[in-house]
Amino acid sequence: MPALTSAKRCNTRAYHHFGHVQEVLHRFAEVSAGPGWAQPAEVYLAVLYHDSVYEAGSKDNEALSAGLAVDHIARWLPGYGIDALRVAELVNLTARHGQLSPGDFGEDGFSLDARHFLDCDMAILGASPDVFDAYDQGIAEEYRGKLPEFLFRLNRKRFLKGLLARERIYLSDFFHLRYDAAARANLRRVTG
């Protein structure tokens, strides 16, 4: 998996680098110790491969990342019973952050996995203010030179205010109870 490692170490990534993956893996471990996963191997691989292809502002990052995951699973993990299409489905869902609600999912194990996985990726919103600020600055750095700063700030504020306006920021009860209040405080602070 050298290609995956080198992609995550790319110099243009101020936030979507391997440190982000490690942070999401910590949230994966929280779910493992709590409600658990129906398909832990698939979710783990989705954590590793989400954002493996990342160009700030690109509309096909998730699809390309999902394709890379499917290719690598076929090449390096044949015969292990990994549902590569499920991994791709999870990775592709990250394109819809901020657009989904709990009602978009069922209560079966596969749906709960998707909700928990997406929440793992968004848990940063409920981090301590200094960690949240570093994340927010990292996103801004990734967009520097891709968009005029005023346009980035306008779109970023619109996205964050959209999250704040939602009844629930997190899709699962597990993350909602742990991170929603802190996420709302962070979002109010930076959008106010």
C-alpha–C-alpha distance, residues 54 and 14, integer Å? 11
- What pLDDT was estimated at residue 147? 84
Q: List Cβ neighbours of 21 (8 Å cut-off, separation of 6 or more).
A: 8, 47, 48, 51
User: For 92-135, what is each residue's pLDDT tens digit?
Assistant: 999 999 999 999 999 999 999 999 999 999 999 999 999 999 99
Q: How far is CA 90 from CA 113, 155, 184, in A?
A: 9, 25, 25
Domain count, the chain: 1
Q: List Cβ neighbours of 107 (8 Å cut-off, separation of 6 or more).
A: none
Residue 102 near residue 59 (C-beta atoms within 8 A): no
Number of residues assigned to the chain:
192
pTM for this prediction: 0.91
Q: 35 lies in which domain range? A: 2-191
Which among 140, 124, 135, 100 has a CA at the least distance from the CA of 182?
A: 124
The CATH number of residue 141's host domain is 1.10.1300.10
User: For 38-94, what is each residue's pLDDT tens digit?
Assistant: 999 999 999 999 988 888 778 999 999 999 999 999 999 999 999 999 999 999 999
DSSP string, 123-170: GGGGS-HHHHHHHHHHHHHHHBTTB-HHHHHHHHHHHHHHHHHSS-SS
Which among 36, 30, 5, 33 has a CA at the least distance from the CA of 19?
A: 5
- What pLDDT was estimated at residue 16? 66
